[in-house]
A and B are shown apart, each in its own frame.
Chain A
């Protein structure tokens, strides 16, 4: 419709050119001009400038059959010239656009178009390629420091203690553990224990040992290792594992050493569905404290005898039996001479331990029951025999014992994301040493509540009811601790 509308005025224009007025301008020459030069361009321009031409054609339309005057002719001519210029401008624009389109990147081809057809690789070739990739991946991993054979693990904690009769205080500790596995059979580990004690920062080295797998069931360790006869120390002492903010009497900082300096041979014997664990070790013997500014320490054992004063060697071991996966029972013993070489006496340390962890469908949770009891026996010894220290000669029954029993419950199968993270704990611990220079027995009932943020991050709160005999003051305590294993 638009094209028809456009052509009509142009035809009118052509007819008018053939009937020029008699002012000296030849109608034939005028028509020739229009036909040879202007018309083709006008037609081209019309095709692209339809809307523009429509308006102008309609304005300039004259009635058919009338002659045009000179003025009309001039007007038409000037309009024709204007249109020529517009067409030239349009042609230049079209040319520019065409050039820019040619220079732009080609649009993406449809999938499969222009693709080379190759043969399907054989299964063997694919497997070979896969193995090469795996090998390369392993090699790349091995070049990354700290990702293949070395690992920094450990734990940290921060806490608050308010104990009756003492100033309340905040506390913090950091125990990085360095694990290094140079080969499949050789292994090295070390633990640093950083903490505070009486206003000073303390650094201990409870573990610094190299282990070698003699065979699949036997390992030999040399160096400083956690006391294998002390189940709590070896397995449960890290703050993120121990369920109470503090550690039980007797088994920690009490009657058994935390670490031994020597060598141990350990392993496991699978017996059908059960398992028997064993450890045998030789180490520096503890030292018998015969002199001290604090009289209560007389007769105690110094387990940090790294220089092995007295020159004695301790021999010991531990046997654990796991009849069912939920139960572990164990017995440990350590025997050595203690005291000055010329007056050495025998020391025997014994421990029994029980560990039950069972997932109860009936109670919808995990029940953990742990207990350990230890005995320390030091043979008859005369302290301050010549009375130089002002309290001798002194002899006493140097037998001590103590331990703990603990029960906890975590409702992991209850359908509540908050409640299942709580774990109430109750613990009873005791240390008997009334007949020693310490002069009292102590027992505690502790009630705690843990909240597990993650499997290795826990917030602990507890209250301890302390009971001492022998005239010593009871010291109830309120404790808070946050612990994180990493």
Chain B
């Protein structure tokens, strides 16, 4: 156990480097990609909102019915989930459309 901790201390720079790299790549994707907000990527579009809803929401909690909130309330909820659940803009858009269609 101590060896693991010492290793963690020694390699503390590695997680930091990974995270910094992620930030940089994410920034590049967001800015250089010049993608319009909510534009749907091919893979995500193939899945559809219902499937993305099941895959992403179910990973943490039971799936709540689309009729539980109004469309306007789902927009607020999904903004919360987009941040805490690390949803891509495509997933966010697709899932939100699905939820609003069921209200």
Contacts and interface: CB of A to CB of B under 8 A. Distances in A.
Contacts of A265: 23
A150 B55 CA distance: 26
Contacts of B16: 315, 317
Nearest to A280: B19
A214 to B, nearest CB: 7
Contacts of A268: 26, 86-88
B88 A275 contact: yes
Nearest to A215: B30
Contacts of A485: 61, 64
Nearest to B72: A148
B86 A179 contact: no
Residue from B26, B31, B38, B77 having most chain A Cβ neighbours under 10 A:
B26
B63 interface: yes
Contacts of B37: 184, 216
Given A215-B27, A219-B83, A150 B76 contact: yes
Contact of B2 (A221, A267, A399): A399
A328 B31 CA distance: 27
A222 to B, nearest CB: 12
A234 B84 CA distance: 8
A217 interface: yes
Contacts, number: 152
Interface string A70-104: 00000000000000000000000000000000000
A181 B82 CA distance: 12
A370 B37 CA distance: 33
A401 B4 CA distance: 11
A101 B47 CA distance: 69
A317 B30 contact: no
Contacts of B22: 267, 269, 276, 278, 280, 319
Interface in A376-397: 377
B23 A179 contact: no
B17 to A, nearest CB: 10
Residue from A269, A328, A331, A359 having most chain B Cβ neighbours under 10 A:
A269
B30 A216 contact: yes
A272 B42 CA distance: 10
Interface in A198-241: 211, 214-219, 221, 226, 234-236, 238, 240-241
A320 interface: yes
A265 B2 CA distance: 31
B19 A189 contact: no
27 contacts: A147-B72, A151-B73, A179-B76, A181-B76, A214-B27, A216-B35, A217-B26, A240-B61, A241-B61, A265-B23, A268-B26, A268-B86, A269-B25, A269-B26, A275-B86, A278-B18, A279-B19, A317-B19, A318-B19, A319-B19, A320-B86, A328-B59, A333-B12, A357-B59, A375-B1, A399-B5, A455-B62
Interface of A: 141, 147-151, 153, 179-181, 184, 187, 189, 211, 214-219, 221, 226, 234-236, 238, 240-241, 265-270, 272-273, 275-280, 315, 317-320, 325-326, 328, 331, 333, 335, 346, 348, 350, 355, 357, 359, 366, 375, 377, 399, 401, 452, 455-456, 485
Given A399-B2, A455-B62, 20 more contacts: A148-B72, A179-B80, A181-B75, A184-B37, A218-B26, A235-B60, A235-B85, A265-B23, A266-B86, A267-B22, A269-B25, A276-B22, A278-B19, A278-B26, A331-B15, A355-B60, A359-B58, A366-B58, A455-B65, A456-B61
